[in-house]
A = this chain, B = another copy of it.
C-alpha cells in the first residue's frame, strides 16, 4: 500500500471499519437481516412504541430511510404501524412478539461479530480501543 496513505489515521480507520462493517454485513445477511433492521428493532424495544420520526432519531437513521426499512419489518410482521389517535400526522410503531424474538436472535449474531472484530486484540487493548474511539465519534454520539 501507498506510503502516503498507509500511516494516515483516516486510512487505518477506514480499513478497520471496512473489516468490521463487512463482518457485520455478512453476518446479518446470513441471518436474513440488515443493520438498519436491527437498530430499529432495538430502538423499539428500548424506547417502546413511538412515532417514526422519534424512532429515526433514536436509532440514528434518517426519517426518510426509516420508511423503507420499517416497511420491510412490517411486511415480515416484526413491527406494526398504527395511526396515532392524538396526532394525525404520526404513526405509532410497535414491536410484535415476532419482532421481540427476531431481536433476541439478532442480539446473538451481533455479539458474535464483536468477538470476531476484536479478535486481533488483547483484553486491555480492546478496552483501550473503545475508550479512544469514543472520543473520536461525532459530538452527538
Contacts and interface: CB of A to CB of B under 8 A. Distances in A.
Interface in A52-103: 58-60
Interface residues of A, number: 50
A19 interface: yes
A20 interface: yes
Main secondary structure of the interface of A (DSSP, over half): helix
A126 B141 CA distance: 20
Nearest to A133: B12
A9 B118 contact: yes
Interface of A: 1-10, 12-21, 23-24, 39, 42-43, 46, 58-60, 107, 110, 113-114, 117-118, 120-121, 125-126, 128-130, 132-138, 141
